[in-house]
Amino acid sequence: MKAEMEQRHGVNVYVKSTDTADKNQVGEFGKFVLGLNRPIDVLVNNAGNFMPGATMEEPDGALENMIAGNVYSAYHLTRALIDGIKKNRSGHIFNMCSIASIKAYPNGGSYAISKFALLGFTKVLREEMKEFNIRVTAVMPGATKTQSWNGVDLPDSRFMKTEDVAEVIFNAYSISDRSVVEEVIIRPQLGDI
């Protein structure tokens, strides 16, 4: 992917393999990013994982794993990078929440709990960053055709394309810095799965 992006777009791409559920690795990733000595205009917290299950039946540790991957990853990376973003007095932070952030559903289990928590973190961060002219947006996509859905016997037409979600994020970023899209809800045209 690095080589393809560099070749296709003529830009330098920097990569570092990181387990974002591991606080120490997230800290090292933050140091890596800061070591590039470049302004951070946009931060997209999109790491996370999904495991279906009913809260009272899922394996022990499911909640801790979902919180680590879906909430702590965004929390710790944002903390690692925020001083530079605040110093620039501009920037945009996108937290990839989910429809599960606002709508509980059967078998959503700890995933839904973690996404509710991520939305809460996003709302608090939005309030705290206003004075620094940093925009914060919660993106809440419904079923999007990603690896999370591998093995599901549904036609592609029931899923949103990843490019659609990316375009919504870009459009929210592109408006003037006098405005902010605080929350984006995007669903498949035929509704939730």
Stretch 89-94: mean pLDDT: 97
Q: Is the pLDDT of residue 52 over 90?
A: no
Indicate if the alpha-carbon torsion angle 124, 108, 111, 95 is positive or negative: negative
Mean pLDDT calculated for residue range 101-111: 92
State the pLDDT confidence band at 112, using cuts at 50, 70 and 90: very high
Q: How many helices (H) and strands (E) does the chain have?
A: 6, 4
Distance of CA 142 to the CA centre of its chain: 13
User: Sign of the CA dihedral 175, 181, 185, 190?
Assistant: negative
pLDDT of residue 36 exceeding 90: yes
Q: Per the structure block, which two tokens stand in for 125?
A: 């961060």
Residue 50: pLDDT over 90: no
% of the chain with per-residue pLDDT over 70: 100
Q: What is the pLDDT of residue 8?
A: 94
How far apart, in whole angstroms, are the C-alpha atoms of residue 143 and residue 103? 13
Q: Kindly report, residue by residue over 120-170, the tens digit of the pLDDT.
A: 999 999 999 999 999 999 999 998 988 878 888 899 899 999 999 999 999
DSSP secondary structure letters along 27-94 = HHHHHHHHHT-----EEEE---------TTTSPTTHHHHHHIIIIIHHHHHHHHHHHHHHHHT-EEEE
| DSSP-based three-state secondary structure for 13 | coil
The model's confidence at residue 105, banded by pLDDT at 50, 70 and 90, is: confident
The reported pTM is: 0.93
**What pLDDT is attached to residue 48?**
85
